Amino acid sequence: MNSLTNGLLLDSEHWTQMEADIKAKAPEEACGIVLGEGNHARLVIPVTNILHSPTRFRMEPKEQLSAFLMAEEKKLDILAVYHSHPHGINQPSATDYKELTFPGIIYLIWYSRDGEWNCRGYLMNIRLDTGEVPVIISEK
């Protein structure tokens, strides 16, 4: 059984790092990769959205490759991809399903309500039977 079905464990610094990236890039969608072990995040890597769009993202290929190589070098797994829905829904969109690149990992969807950013996690796969999973924040 995939340990990601139990959710993603983030240190508070990882949450803060993603939130800062999301806020800095708004109103465009921000995106990035979360590396770790089991279901515990160890590293957050912001990646440039080459579409510069408020409704879609595509990771800059060289930055994405660099993140993959870093995962290999540090013997970490790709646990999650995060991206924001600056004016959108708090769950995967039809476009997210259509452009699903990494089935079997958690997609962290950041969304804004009344100026406050929050995040929900979804274990996505190509069969479209996505399940929400907990995003657990721990203090170091």
Which tens digit of pLDDT belongs to each residue from 73-102? 999 999 999 999 998 789 888 888 888 888
Catalytic residues: 29
Structural domains in the chain? Answer: 3-9+47-138 (3.40.140.10)
Contact 21, 30 (CB under 8 A): yes
Q: Is 88 left (phi over 0), alpha (psi -120 to 50) or beta?
A: beta
**Predicted pLDDT of residue 114:** 86
Q: How confident is the model at residue 1 (pLDDT cuts 50, 70, 90)?
A: very low
For 19-23, 70-74, 99-103, which range has the lowest pLDDT when averaged over its residues?
A: 99-103
Averaged pLDDT for residues 112-138 = 85
